[in-house]
Amino acid sequence: MPKILHLITGLQTGGAEGMLARLVTRTDRTRFPSIVVSMTDIGTLGPMIAGAGIPVERLGIRRGAIDPRGLTRFIGLLRRHRPDIVQTWLYHSDLLGLIAQQLGYAPLLAWNIRCSDMVGATVLPAIISRFSARPAAVIVNSRVGRRFHEHIGYHPRRWEYIPNGYDTVALRPDEAARNRLRASLGIDPSAIVIGLPARYHAMKDHATFLAAAARQAASCPDVAFLLIGSGIEAVNRDLTQAIEAHGLMPRLRLLGERADMNAIYPALDIATLTSAFGEGFPNVLAEAMACSVPCVATESGDVTEILGPTGIVVPPRHPEALALGWQRMIDLGAEGRRALGVAARARIVENYDLDQIVSRFETLYTDLHNEIAGVAR
């Protein structure tokens, strides 16, 4: 019965953080008891994880700061909880886990890579890549992520590919939710709604979305656009000025960060992602697909593999191609999009259902624990 300590940079809403929350709350706790440690604070997800009965600790390190006291606190937690496996999430956690291991406080370490080509953020991974044979395994959630990290020098003893997993009971088509959201936003039931669920960040490339939306709005009078995510608010002047410059304000709704995405996705006719770089396994596409929403997305991370034949992939930073992709989806008509959406949901259920993915993590934990036990004997 290996005890797993998960170390992550923070517990704000995000792709890696959401997958961690889904994993620890669904893992068989009688076989794999878990503890979650945030390097910063407990964020928005910490209370939810703690409310599910899983211990949540924080190191209190200020973001972007170098604080030796964080290492001291972490070592104290390791001494108190005595985990069998320390699984780290994201680069800063990988580094802290590595230091603790080298000091003899983390008996078995597994790194966890959740991105691909993070432009402008390659210094830390390039440094720790030199020590990538020290962990017992390096987990990746995307094949593109593995190739990128091999390119910058990662050479682990064991690569383990485990994609993200989704609760396909909670994420499902919901006609009532579709109608409620549209009514609350004043969007006609017959309108074509295109949504971008993404935080406001250069990686997500809202500029390309807005440029494509302007083109689409000019040729399609019954199209509306939704932006959802952290930083997507009227107080974000850079964003609102860009929206005004494209003349999109009457057609576009800003929903900000939402905790009820299972009620948002069903209102969309097309979900989209316009990331320019850095994606590993983008959650929002799989979540939309689980709700039977077809997708048009830029080629970043494992997008092509996730969508398969159920969606349309276009080049990044190419508004014209994105608008053409949307138009192809619109031209299919309601029935054509519905058929694609049904196939998209089936693809997620078959390949990325949460229970299936959690089982793969549990198998890895068992393998690693057995290896250590064999060495000890």
Q: What pLDDT does residue 121 have?
A: 54
What is the tens place of the pLDDT at every residue in 29-59?
999 999 999 999 999 999 999 999 999 999 9
Q: Which residues pair with 224 in a beta bridge?
A: 193
Residue 2 — pLDDT band, cuts 50, 70, 90? very high
370: Cα separation from own chain's centroid: 30
Residue whose entry in the numeric block shows the structure tokens 């191609």: 321
Q: Which of 59-73, 102-116, 203-217 has the lowest mean pLDDT?
A: 59-73
Q: CB neighbours of 46 closer than 8 A, spacing ≥ 6?
A: 11, 36, 38, 56, 58
Residue 120 has pLDDT above 60, yes or no: no
**Cα–Cα distance measured from residue 331 to residue 62, given in angstroms and rounded to the nearest whole number:** 50
Amino acid at 366: T
**Cα–Cα distance measured from residue 306 to residue 104, given in angstroms and rounded to the nearest whole number:** 39
DSSP-assigned states of every residue in 261-299: HHHHGGG-SEEEE---S--SS-HHHHHHHHTT--EEEES
What is the tens place of the pLDDT at every residue in 341-365?
999 999 999 999 999 999 999 999 9
Buried b (16+ CB within 10 A) or exposed e, 299-312: ebbbbeebbeebbb
Q: Which of 50-59, 86-95, 111-120, 208-217 has the lowest mean pLDDT?
A: 111-120
Q: Which residues pair with 196 in a beta bridge?
A: 227
CA distances from 35 to 78, 83, 97 (A): 10, 8, 14
What is the tens place of the pLDDT at every residue in 304-340?
999 999 999 999 999 999 999 999 999 999 999 999 9
Smallest CA-to-CA distance from 8 within 288, 203, 54, 28 is with: 54
Q: Where in the chain is the domain with CATH 3.40.50.2000?
A: 4-165+353-376, 175-352
Q: How many residues does the chain have?
A: 377
The model's pTM = 0.92
Average the pLDDT over 56-73 and give the result: 87
Average the pLDDT over 53-69 and give the result: 88
Give the fold, CATH level 3, of 4-165+353-376: Rossmann fold (3.40.50)
Quote the tokens at residue 300. 């970043």
Burial, 97: exposed, middle or buried (Cβ in 10 Å; 0-12, 13-18, 19+)? buried
Class of domain 175-352: alpha beta
Residue 200 has pLDDT above 80, yes or no: yes
Give the helix, strand, coil percentages of the chain, each rounded to 5. Answer: 50, 15, 35
**Cα–Cα distance measured from residue 297 to residue 287, given in angstroms and rounded to the nearest whole number:** 14
What is the tens place of the pLDDT at every residue in 275-288?
999 899 999 999 99
Residue 67 — pLDDT band, cuts 50, 70, 90? confident
